[in-house]
Amino acid sequence: MNSTEIPMVSIPLARKAHQLAQQFAAEQTSVDKSKQVYLNTLSVCAVSRYLKRLQVETDLSQGDSWNAGMRLLFDVADLVLPGIGKLECRWVMPGETACVLPPGVTENRIGYLLVQLQESLEQAQLLGFYPAVDGSNPPELIKLQELKSREFFIDYITELEAVRMTRRQQSVIRAKRLNLTNANNPASGQLKAQENNLRRWLQGVAQGWQTFEELFSAPVLSTAYALRKHTTKDTIAIVVALTPITEQKVSVRIQVRSCGEKLLLPKELQLMIIDQSGEIFEQKSMEQDGKLLEAGLFSAQYGERFTVKVILGENNFTEDFVLI
């Protein structure tokens, strides 16, 4: 479409957006970089505000544009739409007829939403959308006359959301009861479990694991008996939830749960995710009494490996996972 054929949507740039832009810009090492970050931040805030009008969920904090290190090194203006993907929010100034895409913003994007910033920076105009239809040959430049309409954009993300819902229905959740008294403690002589192939899980094969319903709907020992006979070390379960994203990628959520209806997890309990290089990717500890300890949602791609470790005092339980 030609962007002049349909009236542009005006999006006020609120005071909070400018405060964030000033904060992020002040972290930069040059005047040019500060200006770039300032305008990138305004464009992301404008798009986020527009999407909220449409009741589309956004998460500013998860984007590279909200990461200080990524802002410093790259020209990023991405906005995360949870469960849908990353949208790149690029700005142009009045009179410009094209937008050059810097390296690094043409990967893992669902598309590009372009906004025009007024010289006063008091408002932005939504120009249109360019879908990322060819991941193997991403564009280096987008001409404004090539932009799709806002209606196209809404239909596009609605379709992606429908695909997400379909994939959610294909989610796999498996659980295993842990005995942290002897689990994988070198002194116990217990052998480490075999590596879990997550692709096999998606095919319905998860040897040694139960479904969530099987484990947590099973009869539970009375609290008094559990405390007297089995300590809380024996009433803990690990839960792994997988959701396909693409043929080569899955999202993963790891939880540690109490199996007893009234039993709480020990405060000293820790949950650790270790990547294939041996580095700790995430580490969580119980901050207060509760029944759930959960790691943040992350993704695993084909060929990747990771390890989950549950630690309680001198004892620990580990499980290795791979997607092949």
Residue 61 has pLDDT above 50, yes or no: yes
Report pLDDT for 175: 93
For residues 240 and 294, give the distance between their C-alpha atoms in angstroms, rounded to a whole number. 10
Comparing 26-30, 68-72, 79-83, 174-178, the range with the smallest average pLDDT is 79-83
Binned at pLDDT 50, 70 and 90, residue 125 comes out as very high
For residues 43 and 20, give the distance between their C-alpha atoms in angstroms, rounded to a whole number. 12
Residue 105 has phi, psi (to 5 degrees) of -105, 10
For helices 15-26 and 31-53, give the axis angle rounded to 10 degrees.
150
Q: Rounded mean pLDDT of 6-15?
A: 79
Report pLDDT for 288: 73
Comparing 22-26, 93-97, 295-299, the range with the smallest average pLDDT is 295-299
Q: Rounded mean pLDDT of 32-59?
A: 93
The model's pLDDT over 147-199, given as tens digits with 9 standing for 90+, comes to: 999 889 988 988 887 777 676 668 899 999 887 665 554 444 444 557 999 98
Report pLDDT for 193: 59
Task: Enter the pTM of the model.
Answer: 0.54
For residues 131 and 88, give the distance between their C-alpha atoms in angstroms, rounded to a whole number. 10
Q: Which positions ≥6 away from 164 have C-beta within 8 Å?
A: 83, 84
Q: How many CB atoms lie within 10 A of CB 138?
A: 15
More confident residue, 5 or 260: 260
Residue 137 has pLDDT above 80, yes or no: no
For residues 169 and 21, give the distance between their C-alpha atoms in angstroms, rounded to a whole number. 39
Q: Which positions ≥6 away from 199 have C-beta within 8 Å?
A: 323, 324
End-to-end CA distance of the chain: 43
- Domain range list for the chain: 9-163, 170-322
The model's pLDDT over 289-310, given as tens digits with 9 standing for 90+, comes to: 778 898 888 989 889 999 999 9
- The sign of the dihedral angle between the CA atoms of 262, 265, 267, 268 is positive
For residues 114 and 77, give the distance between their C-alpha atoms in angstroms, rounded to a whole number. 11
Which CATH number fits the domain 170-322, given the four candidates 2.160.10.10, 2.60.40.10, 3.20.20.70, 3.40.50.300? 2.60.40.10
More confident residue, 257 or 220: 257
Report pLDDT for 245: 79
For residues 311 and 282, give the distance between their C-alpha atoms in angstroms, rounded to a whole number. 13
